[in-house]
C-alpha cells in the first residue's frame, strides 16, 4: 500500500532523513520507533505532503505522492493523527467529529458515520455536546482517532499516540488501534517508547539520526541490548541483529 524509497529531507543545512526506505503492506500494523530527533515525525509529514523531500520516492497504491497537496493525499485515503492531537478545544466533541467529514461527498453517509463513531467510542457519545478541550488526554486521543477515521481512510498514520498518557490509557488507545486494524485499516504508528508498539505491531522500523537502523519483526528486539543497539548504536555486548 505504501512504498518509500531513498527519502532525503533537509531543514536548511540539517539533514533530517537520509535515504530512508520503508514499505507498509495492505492490512499491516507497522511501527516506527527511535529516539528524539531521529526523523520519525518528518517521515509522516512527508507522506501527507506537509514537508517536501529533496529526493526519493513516496508511492501509495502505485501512485506517486511527492508534489501533491495534502488535501489530495487525504482524498486518496491517507489520514494523519498528529502529535499533540490538534483538536479544537472550544468546539464540541460532535463539531470536532464533523470536521473529519469535510472531504466526504455523501453527506448522509458521513452523518451516519459520525453517529457510528460515537458508538464505537462511547465516551465521545456521552460528551458529544461538551467542549472537546475539557476531555482528558486519553479521551482527546480517542477523539483525534475518530475524527481521522471519519475521512474514511485506508491508511491511518499516528504520531506519538501515547504521548503524555498514563500506561492504562495508553493500553486503551492501542486496543482501539488493534480493533481498527482487525477491521481492515492499515496502520503506521510512530512512537518514541518502543515497549507498547512492540506488543501491537507486526513489523518495526528503527530510525536513528535520520537513517534506518533496523527493520524486522518485534521479536528481534526483545533482548534489551539489541534494542539499545538499534536505538543508540553499536554495543559490544549485543549479538548481531538479523
* 211-216, strands of its sheet edge to edge: 78-81, 155-159, 186-191, 29-33, 203-208, 211-216
> Which pLDDT belongs to residue 232?
63
- pLDDT tens digit string along 165-224? 788 888 888 888 998 899 999 999 998 777 788 888 999 999 999 999 888 888 887 765
Residues 160 and 61 placed together within one structural domain of the fold: yes
> Which pLDDT belongs to residue 61?
94
> Which pLDDT belongs to residue 168?
84
Nearest one of 141, 154, 143, 137 to 98, comparing CA atoms = 143
Q: Which residues of the chain have pLDDT under 50?
A: 234-242
3-class DSSP state of 189: strand
- Give the HSE-up count for residue 190: Cα atoms under 13 Å, Cβ half-sphere: 24
Residues 174 and 242 placed together within one structural domain of the fold: yes
Structural domain harbouring 32: 1-77+156-242
Residues 65 and 107 placed together within one structural domain of the fold: no
User: Which sign, positive or negative, has the C-alpha torsion 209, 213, 217, 222?
Assistant: negative
Residues 71 and 115 placed together within one structural domain of the fold: no
3-class DSSP state of 4: strand
> Which pLDDT belongs to residue 241?
43
> Which pLDDT belongs to residue 132?
95
Give the end of a domain, one of 113, 128, 152: 152
**Cell triple for 203:** 513489523
Amino acid at each position: 500500500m505504501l512504498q518509500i524509497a531513498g527519502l532525503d529531507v533537509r531543514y536548511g543545512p540539517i539533514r533530517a532523513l537520509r535515504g530512508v526506505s520503508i514499505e507498509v503492506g495492505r492490512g499491516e500494523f507497522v511501527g516506527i520507533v527511535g529516539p528524539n530527533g531521529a526523523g520519525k515525525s518528518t517521515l509522516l509529514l512527508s507522506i501527507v505532503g506537509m514537508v517536501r523531500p529533496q529526493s526519493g520516492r513516496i508511492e501509495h497504491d502505485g501512485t506517486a505522492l511527492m508534489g501533491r497537496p495534502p488535501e489530495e493525499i487525504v482524498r486518496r485515503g491517507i489520514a494523519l493523527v498528529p502529535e499533540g492531537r490538534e483538536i479544537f478545544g472550544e468546539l464540541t466533541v460532535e463539531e470536532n467529529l464533523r470536521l473529519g467529514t469535510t472531504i466526504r461527498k455523501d453527506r448522509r453517509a458521513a452523518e451516519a458515520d459520525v453517529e457510528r463513531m460515537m458508538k464505537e467510542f462511547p465516551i465521545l457519545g456521552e460528551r458529544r455536546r461538551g467542549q472537546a478541550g475539557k476531555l482528558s488526554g486519553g479521551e482527546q486521543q480517542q477523539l483525534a482517532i475518530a475524527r481521522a477515521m471519519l475521512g474514511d481512510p485506508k491508511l491511518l498514520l499516528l504520531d506519538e499516540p501515547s504521548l503524555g498518557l498514563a500506561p492504562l490509557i495508553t493500553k486503551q488507545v492501542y486496543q482501539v488501534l488493534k480493533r481498527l486494524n482487525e477491521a481492515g485499516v492499515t496502520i503506521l504508528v510512530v512512537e518514541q517508547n518502543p515497549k507498547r508498539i512492540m506488543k501491537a505491531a507486526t513489523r518495526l522500523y528503527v530510525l536513528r539520526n535520520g537513517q534506518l537502523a533496523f527493520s524486522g519483526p518485534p521479536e528481534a528486539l526483545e533482548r534489551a541490548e539489541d534494542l539499545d543497539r538499534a536505538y543508540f548504536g553499536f554495543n559490544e555486548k549485543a549479538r548481531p541483529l538479523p
